[in-house]
Amino acid sequence: MISTLPVRGWRLAGLMLLAGGLAALSLPPVHALFLLPVGLMILYRVSEDARSWKQAAWCGFLFGMGFHTVGLYWLTNAILTRVHEFWWVVPFASPGVALLIAPFICVPAILCRVVRPGWRRVLMFAGSWTVMDMGRVFMFSGFPWNPLGSDLELPGFVGDVMIQPASVLGVDGLSLALVLGSLALFRGRRAAVGVLAVSVLWIAAGAWRLSSATPLNIINPRAVLVQGNVPEAEVISHADAVGNFRRYLSLTAQGAQKAFAEGGRSPVVIWPESGFPGLLDEDTLARQMIARAADGAPALIGSDRESGKDWFNSLIAVAPDGSIAAIYDKSRLVPFGEYQPWILPFNVLPGVLTPGSGLKTWDLPGIGRVGPMVCYEIIFSGSVTARNERPNWLVTISNDAWYGNSAGPRQHLATGRMRAVEEGLPVVFANNTGISAIYDATGHETARLGWGRADVLVSDIPSPLPPTLFSRFGRATPLALSILCMILALIPTERKKRDWDMGVYKG
């Protein structure tokens, strides 16, 4: 087979890096959706026309490097918090992570070549892309960041409508639909009209769900979200631990006073990850001070915790009398940040933590049935509630000060919005430096505190919806649809057989 690629060598490498980088601009918070079909089509056509499967794999890898380096550029900010120690790592932060996950995109670039040209290759490419994307949960502790389905989380009502099918398909099903639609746009006028028709039906289905969603008759508490806006350098060094603790207490008192003055629902105070600058489970006086500031409301406080030789990143429920009502230890840890994967002989970020025992559902006075999570855990589609213990709302505490005023906190927040739609549960997102927000069970934002503000947000937590299809079947649905696409691509036809060379169609 004679290669029909218009460029080769370093020009081809540059093209693939550029295509991947441009496709990444479709992600939150930029949402340049028109660039995704362009980037994917370049990868698809280059994979088709490559001289061998090895060249196709190389092009897929370079596309992945461009996509993930641009999409995760903000990881560099985490290194800058300790630049005096790890200055030499700065150029490698986001490219280093991209290097580990870019090979997942090699697979669709290879597999689309083993079936006949046309729709079969499109189906194989889209199906295998989604399967491999879903497979990222098995890398180290998992890194399913920035699935393509999050592209549809546009701001406001438009995004609310577009992401409603996630209640059935999950974010991975949205990814599958986006890849199929992106490639179909370039397969002629009839295919483009088909994409337009499906898009209209998609929007209609989303609008119908939004208008027909009927919450359960469950009254959740009123959230008092405390956002202290403590710089990460102070979080690490505890340089002004007492002053920062007092700031949180002052904001808590303001929020509790407002919440009780409004009447109606009972309030619950929520501090973010790293909110308490010490070991709260060992500090009875600090818990009593928090209880007094909360004026009788229960409080959910982010704190480190020590047990023997183990250290945990925890969410501690403090009762109105200052006692500990419950403790949740983070069970999904951040690779290279909270623990050290075997592939790297050093730990770049401070602290090596121990994972907790797993997800829980608390049922506590004044709080109700809540699913607690810490930071990173909210990104795992289909894995945010304890098995057979559905809560009435989800809370995730975080400290995105690591990543500065970048795309990172916005992408993180987008995962909470998507989990709300998938599970049919309201999500409360409490963050140290922002963005803190509350989403109802359709993913609609009901309250927000912006980036870089020391403030308190008082807002009712919406009621849950009945269990969604996705909450019942989880990722089995998008996985089955992706595998079905691959099977359909492999079904033989009665057309005249053609010559094949090493699994590549010779035309």
Tens-place pLDDT, residues 194-222: 999 999 999 999 999 999 999 999 999 99
User: What does the pLDDT average to over 36-43?
Assistant: 96
pLDDT at position 502 is 44
d(CA 102, CA 43): 13
d(CA 497, CA 31): 43
92 vs 440: which has the higher pLDDT: 440
User: Do 458 and 321 share a structural domain?
Assistant: yes
pLDDT at position 78 is 73
Mark whether 273 is an active-site residue: yes
pLDDT at position 500 is 42
* Phi, psi (deg, nearest 5) at residue 394: -115, 140
Instruction: Return the exposure string of 63-94: e unless at least 16 CB atoms fall within 10 Å of the residue's CB, then b.
Output: bbbbbbbbbbbbbbbbbebbeeebeebeebbb
pLDDT at position 505 is 47
Region label for 334, one of left (φ > 0), alpha (ψ between -120 and 50) or beta (otherwise): beta
User: Do 451 and 382 share a structural domain?
Assistant: yes
For residue 303, the cross-strand partners are 314
pLDDT band at 103 (very low <50, low <70, confident <90, very high): very high
Q: How many other β-carbons are positioned within 10 Å of the β-carbon of residue 54?
A: 11
* Strand ranges of the sheet holding 445-449, from the earlier edge strand across to the other edge: 362-364, 368-374, 393-398, 427-431, 436-439, 445-449
pLDDT at position 83 is 59
pLDDT band at 496 (very low <50, low <70, confident <90, very high): very low
Q: How far is CA 134 from CA 144, 298, 454, in A?
A: 7, 38, 37
Element (H, E) at 276: none
d(CA 413, CA 72): 15
pLDDT at position 93 is 76
Q: How much is the mean pLDDT over the chain?
A: 90
pLDDT digits (tens, 9 = 90+) for 227-236: 999 988 788 7
pLDDT band at 467 (very low <50, low <70, confident <90, very high): very high
Q: Is the pLDDT reported for residue 87 higher than 70? A: no
pLDDT digits (tens, 9 = 90+) for 140-189: 788 999 999 999 999 999 999 999 999 999 999 999 999 999 999 998 89
In a domain? residue 49? yes
Q: Residue 330, exposed/middle/buried by CB under 10 A (0-12, 13-18, 19+)?
A: buried
Q: Active site residue: 375, 377, 423, 485, which one? A: 375
288 vs 334: which has the higher pLDDT: 288
User: Do 291 and 194 share a structural domain?
Assistant: no
For residue 358, the cross-strand partners are none
For residue 163, the cross-strand partners are none
User: Do 146 and 37 share a structural domain?
Assistant: yes
Q: What's this model's pTM, rounded to 2 decimal places?
A: 0.90
Q: Do 486 and 124 form a contact (C-beta atoms < 8 A)?
A: yes
Cα dihedral value 107, 110, 114, 117, nearest 10: 110
DSSP string, 333-350: PPBTTTB--TT-SS-SSS
Task: Report the range of poorest mean pLDDT among 8-12, 189-193, 319-323.
Answer: 8-12
User: Do 459 and 483 share a structural domain?
Assistant: no
pLDDT at position 347 is 55
User: Which of 90-94, 373-377, 499-503 is predicted most confidently?
Assistant: 373-377
User: Do 290 and 401 share a structural domain?
Assistant: yes
CA nearest to 16, candidates 33, 50, 39, 36: 39
User: Do 274 and 141 share a structural domain?
Assistant: no
In a domain? residue 445? yes
Mark whether 375 is an active-site residue: yes
User: What's the residue count for the chain?
Assistant: 507
Q: Is the pLDDT reported for residue 401 higher than 60? A: yes
In a domain? residue 217? no
pLDDT at position 504 is 46
Q: Do 245 and 277 form a contact (C-beta atoms < 8 A)?
A: yes
pLDDT at position 403 is 87
pLDDT digits (tens, 9 = 90+) for 332-377: 988 877 777 766 665 555 568 889 999 999 999 999 999 999 999 9
d(CA 454, CA 487): 53
Q: Which two tokens stand for residue 302?
A: 């982010």
Residue 334: domain span: 222-471
Q: Is the pLDDT reported for residue 2 higher than 50? A: no
| Chain centroid offset of residue 71 CA | 12
User: What does the pLDDT average to over 247-263?
Assistant: 95
Q: Active site residue: 153, 232, 330, 485, which one? A: 330
User: Do 238 and 201 share a structural domain?
Assistant: no
pLDDT at position 145 is 93
d(CA 459, CA 437): 10
Q: Active site residue: 273, 338, 422, 423, which one? A: 273
Q: Do 182 and 37 form a contact (C-beta atoms < 8 A)?
A: yes
Query: Which DSSP symbol is given to 370?
Result: E
Mark whether 54 is an active-site residue: no
pLDDT at position 240 is 87
CA nearest to 279, candidates 254, 310, 243, 255: 310
User: Do 146 and 82 share a structural domain?
Assistant: yes
pLDDT at position 82 is 65
In a domain? residue 2? no
d(CA 206, CA 195): 16
d(CA 146, CA 415): 9
User: What does the pLDDT average to over 385-396?
Assistant: 95
Give the CATH number, domain containing residue 404: 3.60.110.10
CA nearest to 119, candidates 499, 495, 420, 459: 495
Q: Is the pLDDT reported for residue 485 higher than 60? A: yes
User: Do 188 and 140 share a structural domain?
Assistant: yes
The total of structural domains in the chain comes to 2
Percentage of the chain modeled with pLDDT above 70: 91
User: Do 495 and 449 share a structural domain?
Assistant: no
Q: Which two tokens stand for residue 9?
A: 């060598």
d(CA 375, CA 480): 29
Q: Do 293 and 252 form a contact (C-beta atoms < 8 A)?
A: yes
Q: How many other β-carbons are positioned within 10 Å of the β-carbon of residue 466?
A: 11
Residue 488 three-state SS: helix
User: What does the pLDDT average to over 53-73?
Assistant: 95
Q: Is the pLDDT reported for residue 68 higher than 90? A: yes
In a domain? residue 1? no
d(CA 306, CA 204): 51
User: Do 277 and 416 share a structural domain?
Assistant: yes
